[in-house]
A and B are shown apart, each in its own frame.
Chain A
Amino acid sequence: MKTDYDVIVVGAGPAGSMTAKHAAKKGAKVLMIEKRQEIGASLRCAEGVNKKGLAKAGVPVDKRWVSADIAGAKLVSPGGHVFRIDESQAGAEVGLVLERHLFDKAMAADAARAGAEIWLKTAAVDVIKEGDKVVGVKAKREGEPMKLTAGCVVAADGFESQVARWAGIDTSLKAGDITTCYQYRMTNLKTEPDYCEFIIGSVAPGGYIWVFPKGDDTANVGIGVLASKLKRPGDVKMYLDSWIKKDPRLSCGQPLEALAGGVSVSPPVERSIMNGLILVGDSARIIDPITGGGIANGLLAGKFAGEVLGDCVQANDFSERSLMPYDKLWRDAMENRLWRNWMAKEKFLTLSDETLDGVIDTLSTANVDKMSVHNILIAIKERHPELVKEFEELI
């Protein structure tokens, strides 16, 4: 069995698969290891993404992994005010709800077609270092311990972000920067089949409740609550269940699937590279701190990482200096936006239900034709400049 590669990718999520694909395309010998028995399962996602994010990462939309096309979004305040964004005029940038278990497999299949090897049921359990350089991972393949060596290891292990921490890059989070989530796939609902809905305020402290349509009368109905706002174990599920019971469009539904998960809502990591190691996707904490969306960012970071790794293979140099272009590429593409949205999150956290009602009420007259955090912040800046003054230069 071959145990030495140019690049070893740990984790076969969207970020890992994109890295593997682009590195292999440039001629790197790539192994991607995934600890679970199936790529894309079990689900830990609400599956919303916008077409622009996919396009930026060079991923053409394939109907086979699209669950629903979105016509717009509704932002609902605690008192029931609704800010509606109709995307019908917005052209190619509108949202999609994915079928993640198919999407993740499609991304991994692209990596395989580019030449990457994939091992399932293979968990990284530690990194191997020589001095300050990562030279491989200790892994368990179907329980059997082994050492895998590589020019560069890619930490694509998602929210768990253990590979980076084993190597010495601190990606640990404060409680105020973690959202814990619970979601049902529900059916027999009476919600709108093509609108994504976001319900904010004390019904989901520090986070929101979402309804993302999955076609017909089915939707992902979930909640994220900021960890620092949790009092008792299991609170997050309690918040979701009590909302569902109260909302007659949801209380008539029944669950088909339940899932849980953690999401970072932090500023991006200070270090995304070291000698022989590169961090992509959730493991680098590049999730949008307002929406909790990480698919598009992970795909783009993976593309950058794969391309840079391809160049490193040709130069046979995986030093931090040689990986630096990756750090610059992703920071140029998203760091300002991540900081801005983190600051917005910190601010909105402090607002009472009454203030949120007022904000959504005045926004409902605004004409926003694309549902992006940026567009919403622009509308807030026009109507409530006091809410964004700490970070207005980033809007």
Chain B
Amino acid sequence: MIVSIEKCMHCGACVGSCPQNAIFLNEIVLEFNENCNKCGRCVRICPAGAIEMEGKK
């Protein structure tokens, strides 16, 4: 997963919505762990449109 640091508002909406609990918001930095199964929910949920799936545009 790729996060745009210009767009991200550090709101945690993606963190609480991730079914795999695979995202951690470290104050302002998002970290994704290996539990991510690329379901894409965080991409849709992000109010700022800040997350992209790798290899997709």
Contact = CB atoms under 8 A, between A and B. Distances in A.
Contacts of B49: 232-234, 237
Contacts of B1: none
Contacts of B46: 180, 233-234, 260
Nearest to B31: A125
Interface string B1-35: 00000000111111111110100111100000000
Interface residues of A, number: 35
Contact of A162 (B13, B21, B47): B21
B9 A35 contact: no
A181 B17 contact: no
A139 to B, nearest CB: 12
Interface residues of B, number: 26
B44 interface: yes
Interface in B28-57: 41, 43-49, 51-52
Contacts of A262: 11-14, 16-17, 45
A125 B47 contact: no
Chain A CB count within 10 A is highest, among B10, B21, B24, B41, for B21
A227 B52 CA distance: 17
Contact of A234 (B11, B14, B16, B48): B48
Chain A contact surface mostly: mixed
Given A173-B17, A227-B17, A262-B17, A159 B47 contact: no
Contacts of B51: 233
B17 A182 contact: no
A159 B27 contact: no
B47 A236 contact: yes
B47 A237 contact: yes
A260 B21 contact: no
A175 interface: yes
Nearest to B11: A260
A235 to B, nearest CB: 8
Interface in A224-260: 227, 230, 232-234, 236-237, 258-260
Given A37-B27, A159-B12, A172 B45 contact: no
A50 to B, nearest CB: 25
Contacts of A173: 16-17
A158 interface: yes
A160 B12 contact: yes
Nearest to B46: A233
A260 B47 contact: yes
Contacts of B41: 175, 227
Interface string A165-191: 110000011010010111000000000
Contact of A227 (B10, B24, B44): B44
A35 B11 contact: no
B44 A230 contact: yes
Given A175-B41, A178-B45, A260 B24 contact: no
A161 interface: yes
A289 to B, nearest CB: 15
17 contacts: A44-B11, A159-B13, A159-B16, A160-B16, A166-B21, A175-B17, A227-B17, A230-B44, A232-B44, A233-B44, A259-B11, A260-B13, A260-B48, A261-B13, A262-B12, A262-B17, A264-B16
Interface of B: 9-19, 21, 24-27, 41, 43-49, 51-52
List the 5 closest A-B pairs by CB distance, nearest first. Answer: A234-B49, A262-B13, A260-B47, A260-B11, A233-B49
Given A259-B11, A262-B45, 15 more contacts: A44-B12, A121-B27, A158-B16, A159-B12, A160-B12, A161-B16, A227-B44, A232-B49, A233-B49, A237-B49, A258-B9, A260-B11, A260-B46, A262-B13, A262-B16
